Each structure stands twice: as structure tokens, then as C-alpha cells.
A and B are shown apart, each in its own frame.
Chain A
Amino acid sequence: MNHLLVAPIVLPMFTAALLLVLHRAPAIFARSVSATATLGLLSASIGILAQVESGTQLVYQVGNWPAPFGIVLVADRLSALLLLLTGLLAPAVLLYAAQGWDARVRYFHPLFLFQLMGLNGAFLAGDLFNLFVFFEILLIASYCLALQGLLQERLRATLHYAAINIAASSLFLIAVSLLYGITGTLNMAHLAERVAQVRTEDVALVRAAGLLLLGVFSVKAALFPLYFWLPALYSNAPAPVAALFSMMTKVGVYAIIRITTLIYGAEAGVLMELTSPWLLPIALITLALGALSAFSAGRLATMTAYLTIASVGTILTAVAIGGAAAFSAGLYYLAHSTIVIALLFLVGDLIGRGRGDIHDQIHPGPQIRRAAGLGLAFLFAGATVAGVPPLSGFLGKIMLLHSTEGSLAVVLVWTVILATSLLMLAGCARAGSIVLWNVTDPLPSDPAHAPRAGEWVALAALGAYSLLLVLFAAPITRYTDETAAQLLSPSSYIATVLGDEEREGLVRPHRAGGSR
């Protein structure tokens, strides 16, 4: 059995626990331990990616219990891609936070690592209940991270966020237990088999459970009408935390992709493509509203928060179109948008710090120092997020537009994507020109507010990731193409997880209707 697969969960868990115990140790200790752990996570995710790249799935049976009975962790190409993305984002965000901000905040490093543990666990979980548990781990860590400093706005945003997520978790549990009550299993591969054989009188219930799951994951991913918690939370959270949160909405996206392709995917019989009539309109509305709100935002952080919503809309448009080409485009866009939105949060924070009381409000104010460097970084991030050629956003969108060929919604998708790209470009241009050019005399120089070397390096790293997505577009799209192909034929996932040859005679035929 391959023990590498537990590393992305166990490593941050133990490091975080260690840092909690030793929280009085000097800041340099916490920083180095936490940096070592994130770099360890990065190498573990590269190791996992290298093993699943060929198309096999890695299965880790916790406690060596065979699949439908025990808990399994599964890594396929999709999980490995998201693990790697988290692994790449984390060191950059940590470097930015470690320039002094983390020392003023209690328990930043343990919370940061617990959040990474929740993210990684959600990507690896092989059954719905553990997906729920890892969701809760990443949520509780995110509540505490978003609260840092206990400012009134943060308290309010976090209370709303916590309340809606606790309600969503209740719905998640209802959906999960409903599926268990009908099919008698929680393992996603096993569910995929059982859902296909469900009796006609139970079809409505399985359908209800599937749509409940879609609703719950829409809360996590921030889809229209359930995204109202996001702008307040992300725009008021500290910048490094907001940058890390750019990965959090992607967990919801991941879960939607997983259930639509695996449980309600190609092999689900009458329940096939349950969510697709809902997903396309919702995703397009999310994209349109996100771009419109980003255009009219009053602060750089609010603008970035709405751009997060727009990016989720774009990815799920791809998922809703379906087919290998669209999935591949969606996954490429997912990688691009996570990185560039994190970059935009950090740049906005650095610009805001140099502007005194008006901070990052999109309003004429004092000239910032180092305007050339920060302005270029903002220009790069804004152009990438809007999709100006030849940057990564452009490639993602062009792939997505290509993939609509032959689908019924081609006119609608093209119109919305092109119009929102124009809106995003105009929004970023407006924000940038007001903040950087419409300026009064600079404030007296304050070294406490100047960008530090480590912060420049963090920005450069995120910018470099985005450029690498363009430079290595061919191998990356080949990988996402293969990922899409793997997602669309779930039979090998199911066979690998359940270990077909071993379980002959182990599993008795399922008696629907329970134990009586």
C-alpha cells in the first residue's frame, strides 16, 4: 500500500498540533516549521502527481480495511491536480504572511496548516462522509483565520459565513444519510454502482439527494443565489488569508465535478446527468453577476472577491457544457483563476497599505510609493484575470469557447463569456487608473507600510506560476485532457477503489429496504 497518500493530511495535522503546543516559541521557529511543512506538502503532491499521471488511481485503505467497508483515500488525476495547486499556493501565501503580519496574529501557523489539511483531505476523501468531515475541518480553520484581529466587519462577515455553512452542513448530512438509507453505502465508487441499480420507486429520493448535494456544494463554491456570504468575508479577511481562500471555493467546485461525473455520471442509468439542466444557467448568472459587481466594486478587495465569484461561474460553465474538451478547459481555468486571484488579493493589499486612511478604496488618494512595481503587478494580474492575450486567462477562455462547438448553448455561452471578459477588463482598468494615476501628493514615507522583499518574492512566485501556465500550456492541457477523459469514464475509478477481483464473495447482494 502506498503511504504517500496520507502525507497531505497527516503532515499538516501533526505539524499544526506541534505548533499549537509550542505556540510560545519564537516566531522564527513557527515560520520555519510551517515553511518546512508546506514545502513537504508540495513535494508530496508532486510525488502523487507523478504516480497518477499515467492514469492509474492510487487507493489508500485506512487501517487496511477493504473498500466498501473501510475508509479509503483515493487520488486520481483530478485530486492530484488540486493537491498540487494547493501545494504551490501555500508556500507563496505563507511567505507573504511571514513578513511580520503572522507574529501579530495568534495561532496563524497552526490554523493555516489545519486549513491545508482540510483542503487536502477533501480532495483525497473517497467517501461522502469523510468529505463532510474534511469540509468541517477546513471551515472551522477558515472561521478562525477570517476573524483575525476581531474587527467589527470581520466579526459580522464571519458570523454570517459560519451560520450559512452550518445550515449547509445540515443539508449535506441529510443528503448523505438519504443516499445511505437507499443504497446502503457511503463510498463514492460503491455509490456510483448502487445508484445505477436503484429501484424505480427510490429514483425520486436519489434524485433529491443529488440535487441537495448540488445545493450544498453551491454554497461552498459560491454560486448564484448562494454567494452572498463571500464578498463580505473575502474583502474583510486579511490579505494572505483571502489569498488562501481563493482555493476554498475550488473545493466546492471539486465536489460538484466529483459527484456529477462519478455518482451521477456516465454509468448512473436513469439518474445520469441529473444536475446538468440546472448548472448551466446558474453558472452563467453567477459569472454575469460576479463580473458586473466587480465592475462596480468600491474597494480593490471587494473587486477581487467578486472576480472570485466570476471565476467559479466560468469553471462551472465548463462543467455544465460537459464533454472532455469543456472539462479540460474548466480545469485549466481553475488552476489559472486560483493563482491569479490570490495574486490580485496580495497586490491590492500592498497598494492599500501605502494609501493611508482610504486604504484600498477605489477612490482618488495619495500617490503610493513603488508605484511602478505595484502598478505593473496590478496590470499583469488584471490583464490575466480578464483574459488579455497571451496570458493564462486568455488561453483558458479560448479553450472554453472552443469546447462549446456543437453544443446547444453556444450562442449564450459565447455572449456571456465575451461580455463578462470586457466587463472585467473595464473594471480592472477603471480601478487601476483611479488608484494608481488619479493621485494627490504622497504621504510621508513610512517604512512599516513599504512592501518587503519577501512580499515581492511572493508576488513574483504567483506571477511566475501564471506565466508557467502559458509557457507549458501544451503539457498542462495534455494533462487536463487526460484528466477529463478519466473523469468521463468512471468505470476504472470504481474498479480500482472496490478492487473487483478481491471482493468476489465478500459482498453479499444488496437488499434494498434495510434490515427488516
Chain B
Amino acid sequence: MELMVAIGLGVVTACGLYLVLRGRTFPLVLGLSLISYAVNLFILAMGRLVPGASPIIRQEAAGYADPIPQALVLTAIVISFGMTGFLLALAVRMRHQTGSDHVDGVEPKPVGGPAGQS
């Protein structure tokens, strides 16, 4: 299970990084969201992956899952949700004001070759 989670996190982070580096506002927001999902799962994994165990004290429990990463993830989700909402509003506003969805507010000049079309 650890290997699967690790590979999954790696793939999600790589996708997020690719989107962030696109230089367009909407992919930027999506990319940062993907990265924050991966980070949230990473925090959860740092409490060790324990399936089927409860995080609160019970008489009959055989073992426990670490509750602290779960609490941290909750906080991190709320914060990243707020930040994403803010960034989205900012991106929409910038698109309206500049007429471009490039992060610099102006379309880059094509420099020839496929790199200029990004």
C-alpha cells in the first residue's frame, strides 16, 4: 500500500507542477490545487498508513491510527481551499482587466518553435 500511495503522490505532484509551469492562470490554479491535494495526502501518510484503526480511544480497539495528522490535514484543507478561492477570484479579475489569461497579463511574443505556443 505504501508503494501505491507513494507513486500516486508522485504522479499527482508531477501533474500539478506541469500545470503550474504552463504560465496561464487557470492551469496555475488547478496545478496548485493538485499539489495541495498531494501534500494533504502526504501529511496523512506521515501518520503511517493504518487501515481500519480508529483515531480515538475505545475500550475494544486493538490499535490506533495517529489522530494528529488527520487534524493537521483538516486545517491544511481549509487553508488551501481559501487560498484557491482567492487565487481564482484574482485570476478572473485579471482576465477581465487585461484580456489575457497569461500570468503576466500580456501574451508572450512567439519566439518560433513549439515553445512559443504554450
Contacts and interface: CB of A to CB of B under 8 A. Distances in A.
Interface of A: 129, 133, 136, 140, 143, 147, 150, 152, 155-156, 158-160, 162-163, 166-167, 169-170, 173-174, 176-178, 180-181, 186, 514-516
B8 interface: no
8 contacts: A133-B75, A147-B90, A152-B98, A159-B90, A166-B36, A167-B35, A170-B32, A181-B48
The majority secondary structure among interface residues of chain B is helix
B25 A159 contact: yes
B26 to A, nearest CB: 12
A163 B49 CA distance: 31
> What are the 8 A-B residue pairs with the smallest beta carbon separation, nearest first?
A181-B46, A514-B48, A177-B46, A177-B43, A170-B39, A173-B39, A155-B94, A156-B105
Contact of A133 (B36, B79, B86, B105): B79
Contacts of A156: 94, 103-105
A136 B83 contact: yes
Interface residues of B, number: 39
A151 to B, nearest CB: 9
Interface string B94-109: 1001100001110000
Contacts of A152: 97-98, 105
Given A170-B39, A514-B48, A177 B66 contact: no
Nearest to A178: B46
A45 B53 CA distance: 46
Most B CB contacts (10 A, CB to CB) among A140, A150, A159 go to A159
B90 A162 contact: yes
Contacts of B91: 159
Contacts of B64: 515
Interface string B35-74: 1100100110111101001000000000111101100100
A166 B32 contact: yes
Interface in B1-41: 20, 25, 28, 32, 35-36, 39
Contacts of A186: 68
A515 B65 contact: yes
B69 A170 contact: no
Nearest to B65: A515
Contact of B32 (A167, A176, A514): A167
Contact of A140 (B25, B45, B65, B86): B86
B63 A515 contact: yes
Contacts of A177: 39, 42-43, 46, 69, 72
Contacts of A140: 82-83, 86
A150 B66 CA distance: 45
Contacts of B36: 166, 170
Contacts of A150: 93, 97
Nearest to A516: B48
Given A136-B79, A178-B46, A516-B48, A163 B103 contact: yes
A515 B50 contact: yes
